[in-house]
């Protein structure tokens, strides 16, 4: 019995010594440093404006500008952008039915809107070659050719809030993207009887320069 107790005691002493003396010290894992990249992107903008008096068919335009990418982990990035976008749309044939008191019957049917867009997107890299993005966007009207209303009044608001969802394929420094941008705020500046909301389908190419 004494022999068994001695053996057990020796085993405990040996294990304790192994834990305290022979086990290597744990070293802190280095935290990956964040990095910042920037580049240019350009593509097509297919626009539709939904609402009474507007033609909901998608018109083809273009957009382009700069983007930045702050990579704060292996999978997550914050991607702000600044873009100039041209949207082409039309008023519907029954526009004057809804705006008979304020509308101009001889106004342009085709409408071009040029906006400065500032999206701030959160990007998740599913794999090295495939990423998904989502985030808010603010649009500011730079100029337009519309003359829908009498007395040269603006039919569209100057500012708009919208949202983005999309995905992109990445091959080294080049990305091919597709996005859907949906208007969150009413852009009808005529009156408050009807609301107009924009929709944009965006496809294009982004090139990282740094």
Domain CATH for 191: 2.40.160.20
The average pLDDT across 46-62 equals 96
* pLDDT value of residue 152: 85
* pLDDT value of residue 210: 87
Q: Is a pLDDT exceeding 80 seen at residue 22?
A: no
**Triad 49, 87, 80: Cα angle to 5°:** 100
- Give a yes or no: residue 23 inside a domain: no
- Whether the CB-CB separation of 115 and 140 falls below 8 Å is answered with yes
Distance CA 134, CA 122 (A): 6
Bridge partners of 17, per DSSP, are: none
- Give a yes or no: residue 114 inside a domain: yes
DSSP letter for 206, please.
E
pTM of the model: 0.80
Q: Is a pLDDT exceeding 90 seen at residue 207?
A: yes
- Give a yes or no: residue 72 inside a domain: yes
Six-digit token pair at 38?
């920037």
Six-digit token pair at 11?
């085993």
The average pLDDT across 172-192 equals 96
Bridge partners of 46, per DSSP, are: 60, 201
Distance CA 139, CA 117 (A): 4
Distance CA 10, CA 78 (A): 58
* pLDDT value of residue 133: 97
Buried b (16+ CB within 10 A) or exposed e, 59-73: bebebebebebebee
- Give a yes or no: residue 4 inside a domain: no
Q: Is a pLDDT exceeding 90 seen at residue 103?
A: yes
- Give a yes or no: residue 107 inside a domain: yes
- Give a yes or no: residue 9 inside a domain: no
- Percent of the chain surpassing pLDDT 70: 84
- Percent of the chain surpassing pLDDT 90: 78
* pLDDT value of residue 107: 86
Q: Residue 65: give the domain boundaries.
A: 34-208
| Euclidean distance between the first and the last CA atom of the chain, given in angstroms as a whole number | 75
Domain count, the chain: 1
Residue 146 backbone dihedrals phi, psi, to 5 degrees = -75, 145
Answer with the residue of higher pLDDT: 92 or 19: 92
* pLDDT value of residue 108: 87
Bridge partners of 71, per DSSP, are: 35, 77
pLDDT in tens, 108-144: 899 999 999 999 999 999 999 999 999 999 999 999 9
Distance CA 192, CA 170 (A): 44
* pLDDT value of residue 34: 62
């Amino acid at each position: 019995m004494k022999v068994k107790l001695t053996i057990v005691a020796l085993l405990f002493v040996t294990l304790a010594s192994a834990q305290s003396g022979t086990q290597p010290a744990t070293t802190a894992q280095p935290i990956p440093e964040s990095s910042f990249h920037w580049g240019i992107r350009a593509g097509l903008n297919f626009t539709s404006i939904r609402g009474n008096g507007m033609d909901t068919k998608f018109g083809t335009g273009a957009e382009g500008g700069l983007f930045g990418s702050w990579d704060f982990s292996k999978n997550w990035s914050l991607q702000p952008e600044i873009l100039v976008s041209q949207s082409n749309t039309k008023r519907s044939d029954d526009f004057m039915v809804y705006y008979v008191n304020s509308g101009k019957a001889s106004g342009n049917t085709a409408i071009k809107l040029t906006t400065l867009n500032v999206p701030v997107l959160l990007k998740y890299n599913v794999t090295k070659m495939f990423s998904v993005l989502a985030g808010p966007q603010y649009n500011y009207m730079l100029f337009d050719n519309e003359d829908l209303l009498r007395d040269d009044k603006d039919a569209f608001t100057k500012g708009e809030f919208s949202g983005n969802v999309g995905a992109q394929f990445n091959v080294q420094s080049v990305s091919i993207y597709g996005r859907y941008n949906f208007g969150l705020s009413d852009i009808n500046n005529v009156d408050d009887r009807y609301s107009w909301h924009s929709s944009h389908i965006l496809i294009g190419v982004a090139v990282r320069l740094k």
